[in-house]
Amino acid sequence: MTSFSERYWYVKPSNKLIRKKITIELRNAICSCYDRLRVNLLNLNICVLNEPYFYLECYLWTHLLNKRESEFSDVKSFHIVATTLIEDKNIVWYKKLDVIDNTLMYLYSRLHMNSLLSSLMVPIVNSFTKDLNSAFERLHFAYRILNGQVVEISSEEEIKTIETAMENCRDNIKMHLRKALELYAKRPKPDAQNSIKDSISVVEAYCREITGAKSLGTALNALSEKGVVIPNVLKSAFEKLYGYTNDAKLGIRYALMDADGEVCAVC
C-alpha cells in the first residue's frame, strides 16, 4: 500500500531495491528486531534456558568478533553486541549482515537441543525471521531470510518460488537447493561456480525423479515426449549448464543418488 505522499506524487514512489548498503532506516529497523528478540528471549523461563540472550551475545562476541570469552561482561551488564555492530558507521554493510547470519545460526542450533527448548524457541525464531523479512520488504532491501540465512533476491516472485520449492520438494532436492543458496549467499564474494553446480543438480534430481531417467538429457527428452513444453532456449540452457558442471577441470558434481545410482529421497 502506497503512502499519501506517493499516491498524490508529492514523493515519487520507488521500487528500486537497496543493495550493498544499509540505510539509517534499515539500521533502525534491524535494531528494533533485535530489541524485540531480546525481550522475547528474556521473557522465557530463565531457569530452563539459563539467560538465553546473554549467551546469544556471548556467541557473537566469541564466534563473530573472535574475542576472548573472559573479556565478556557478566550477565547483569553484558555487551549489546548485535545492535552495537549494526549501528557502527565504520563497519561495512556485509559485515552487518554477518551479524544476522550468525544470530540465526545460533538460534537454529538451540532448536535441536531438546524438545522443551525447541517448543519454546520455535515461535521466537520464527517471529525474529518474520520481523526482519517484513522490515526488508517494507524498506525495499534486496535481501531476505531464507532457510536461516541472509540471501540476495531479485524480485518477490523469485523469493516466493524458492520458498515454495523448499516447502514441497523431497529431501535430496532440498539439500541441493539449500547448498546452492548457502554458496550464493557467501559474502563479500559469492561462490557462483559451485552455486551453479548445485542449482543444476536441483533440476537434474527433480527431472530424473519424475521420469526415472538416468541423466538430465534423457529426462528432459522424456518430459517433452509426455507433452511437457520446455522452450528450446531453456532446454539448451539446462544442457549447457549440465555440461559445464560436469567439466573434468571443474570437478564433477552429481545430483544426490543412492548406492544403486538412483536419485535418493534422503541422503
Identify the residue with better confidence: 195 or 93.
93
Same domain, 27 and 149: yes
Percentage of residues in the chain having pLDDT higher than 70: 78
Same domain, 52 and 104: yes
Cβ contacts of residue 149 below 8 Å, gap of 6+? 101, 104, 181, 182, 185
Query: 210 is in which domain, residue-wise?
Result: 173-245
The last residue of one of the domains, among 92, 125, 154, is: 154
Question: Is residue 188 domain-resident?
Answer: yes
Q: Is pLDDT at 137 greater than 50 in this prediction?
A: yes
Ranges of H-type helices in the chain? 4-7, 24-42, 46-49, 52-59, 81-87, 93-110, 115-138, 156-168, 171-184, 192-211, 216-225, 232-245
Name which residue leads in pLDDT, 92 or 74: 92
Residues 31 and 70 in one domain: yes
Task: Note the pLDDT tens digit of each residue in 253-265.
Answer: 445 444 344 544 3
Give the lowest-confidence range in 2-6, 15-19, 90-94, 175-179.
2-6
Q: Is 226 a domain residue?
A: yes
**pLDDT of 170-217, one tens digit each?**
888 888 888 887 777 666 677 888 888 888 888 888 898 889 998 888
Grid cell for residue 171: 529431501
> Is 137 found in the same domain as 210?
no
Q: Which residue has the cell 549482515?
A: 97
Question: For residue 65, is it within any domain?
Answer: yes
Average pLDDT, the chain: 80
Domain count, the chain: 2
